Structure 1
Amino acid sequence: MQVNDAYSMTVLVMGLMAALSFAQLLILDVAGLKGRHKPGHPIEVDQSSFLFRAFRSHANTNESVAIFILLAMFGIFSAASPNWLNNSAALYLLGRLLHMLFYYSNYSLARSVAFGLSLFGLAGMLIAGFLPWL
């Protein structure tokens, strides 16, 4: 199946989100190995611990990626405005990337702003998907 070229940016962002999630998983695994974390044991809540921040960053991405995928598919199948859907998807990706980097660096205010960017991206995708139905 070939997706309409108008939505190729949204499809690319889906692939880039998969790459970002994979990178977060690898970083988390390496941090766990370096920290001698025993698999299956809880990670101690400690913002000063890189392992904890890597775990939370990965978990936070997992919490929103299903919504992103649903909204991307909804927008494409609803024939949403390609510019609006593509730009909103790109904003979501940018927000997720910055969220990850700021979480790793322990910059909580910047992390929260980046999280807000990703939420605006999701909201834009939701609106783009519903507009053709109005």
Structure 2
Amino acid sequence: MFTVYSYSIAGLLLISFTVFVQNIVAAVAHRKQSRYIPGKVSDELSHDSFVFRSHRTFHNSLENVHQFTLPALFCIFLGASTTVLAALIWVYAMCRIIHMALYYAVATEKNPSPRSYFYMIGVLCTVGVFGLAVFNLFV
């Protein structure tokens, strides 16, 4: 049954791997600080610090990834359209990678920042996956 969802599963693996990479990047950046305290990012840091940006990128993903992946998994168990689900997952995965790259590269406190647009596309994909799950639950 799950082989028909191989594109969706591959996309979910990419999303999980992206969060894993963000964790490593944040940990390495954090430990390179001259005043390193395990588990604590200085409150004095802001967007001009890569330590802050890598930490926020990782935590932003932690705050959002389960909201997307759980309903995506429900879609698989509910037998949702493989094409629609795969498209939503891959668009979300690409948006999270672009969001990450922009957060790493662009030190701005301006809102909306360039990364905000990709965050919002990800939010729309999350709404789409919830909608797909609910639709397949009642159909």
The two structures have a TM-score, normalised by structure 1, of 0.89
What is the CA–CA distance in structure 2 between the aligned matches of 1:100 and 1:77, rounded to whole Å?
29
Indicate the SS of the match to 2:39. coil
Question: Per-residue deviation at 1:9?
Answer: 1.3
Alignment of 1:1-134 (within 5 A): 3-36=1-34, 37-44=36-43, 45-106=45-106, 109-132=113-136, 133-134=138-139
Identity across matched positions, percent: 27
What is the CA–CA distance in structure 1 between the aligned matches of 2:5 and 2:107, rounded to whole Å?
34
Gapped runs of 5+ residues in structure 1? none
Q: 8 Å contact 2:41–2:52 — kept in the other structure?
A: no
RMSD after superposition: 1.6
Q: 8 Å contact 1:14–1:69 — kept in the other structure?
A: yes
| Deviation by residue 1:29-88 (Cα, 9 ceiling, x = unmatched) | 111122232113333341100000000000000001111221111101111111111100
Change (3 A) 1:85 1:100: same
Q: 8 Å contact 1:10–1:90 — kept in the other structure?
A: yes
Aligned residues: 132
Indicate the SS of the match to 1:123. helix
Gapped runs of 5+ residues in structure 2? none
The two structures have a TM-score, normalised by structure 2, of 0.86
